[in-house]
């Protein structure tokens, strides 16, 4: 796999050299076959990662619930650890839990595009003033995080922060 220059800087981890050897010993045919993604695309993404100052890796419930979800998430976290992308601002793992009715959110009234009649009833019942602007879905929220022109964004974001452009 791609060499990560920051690999030696991993703090508090164990067996970094052993992990590197395991990655380097894994054949590209297996990586491409298991992932269904071309080597060229994987290398392009690796270049984006190596060139970034900070990285957040986000995934949704499909990864978590997948047959190999635990192994997949462990590897996502390993990739973050190798470059020090855990435990500092603008970096880290981000499991997204905003799917329709996950943990009952739709039945509790959470909706990024709430009906105005429903909001009127909620305001009356709770004595609040509910926001009327539509919220973001998962992909739009991730894109907005990388857009420094968005209200409330961190305008100190380093140059080059971007998404991969392959979001669905």
Say which CATH number the domain at 18 has: 3.40.228.10
**21 found inside a domain:** yes
Cα 33 to Cα 26, 39, 52, 155: the distances in Å are 12, 10, 27, 40
User: What's the confidence (pLDDT) of residue 40?
Assistant: 96
Does 140 lie in the same domain as 72?
A: no
In this prediction, residue 102 carries a pLDDT of: 56
Q: What is the pTM of this model?
A: 0.55
Please state, for a pLDDT cut of 70, what percent of the chain lies above it: 72
Domain co-membership, 20 together with 73:
yes
Domain that holds residue 114: 101-147
Total tally of structural domains belonging to the chain: 2
pLDDT at 37: 93
Residues 83 and 122 in one domain: no
Instruction: Tell me: do 62 and 108 sit in the same domain.
Output: no
Residues 107 and 70 both lie in one domain: no
Statement to judge: residues 11 and 91 lie in one domain: yes
Nearest to 150 by CA among 136, 164, 160: 136
In a domain, 19, yes or no: yes
User: Do 10 and 84 share a domain, yes or no?
Assistant: yes
Domain assignment present for 40:
yes
Can you give the pLDDT at residue 7?
43
101 falls in which pLDDT band (50, 70, 90)?
low
- Give the model confidence (pLDDT) of 41-83 as tens digits: 999 999 999 999 999 999 887 888 888 888 999 999 999 998 9
Amino acid 168: pLDDT: 36
Cα(101)–Cα(115) distance, integer angstroms: 16
pLDDT band at 137 (very low <50, low <70, confident <90, very high): confident
pLDDT, position 51: 92
Which residues are within 8 A (CB) of 27 and not within 5 positions of it... i.e. 6 or more apart?
A: none
Q: How buried is 83 (Cβ within 10 angstroms: 0-12 exposed, 13-18 middle, 19+ buried)?
A: buried
- What number is the average pLDDT over the span 19-44? 93
- Assess if residue 90 is contained within a domain: yes
pLDDT score of 131 more than 90 = no
């Amino acid at each position: 796999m791609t060499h990560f220059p920051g690999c030696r800087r991993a703090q508090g981890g164990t067996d970094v050299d052993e992990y590197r050897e395991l990655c380097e010993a894994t054949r590209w045919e297996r990586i491409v076959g298991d992932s269904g993604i071309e080597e060229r695309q994987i290398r392009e993404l690796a270049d984006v990662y190596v060139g970034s100052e900070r990285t957040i890796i986000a995934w949704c419930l499909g990864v978590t619930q997948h047959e190999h979800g635990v192994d997949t998430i462990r590897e996502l976290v390993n990739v973050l650890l190798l470059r020090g992308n855990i435990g500092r601002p603008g970096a880290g793992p981000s499991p997204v839990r905003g799917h329709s009715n996950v943990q009952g959110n739709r039945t509790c009234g959470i909706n990024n595009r709430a009906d105005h009649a429903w909001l009127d009833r909620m305001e009356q019942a709770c004595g609040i003033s509910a926001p009327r602007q539509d919220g973001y879905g998962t992909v739009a929220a991730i894109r907005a995080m990388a857009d420094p022109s968005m209200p409330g964004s961190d305008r100190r974001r380093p140059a080059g922060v971007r998404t991969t452009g392959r979001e669905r």
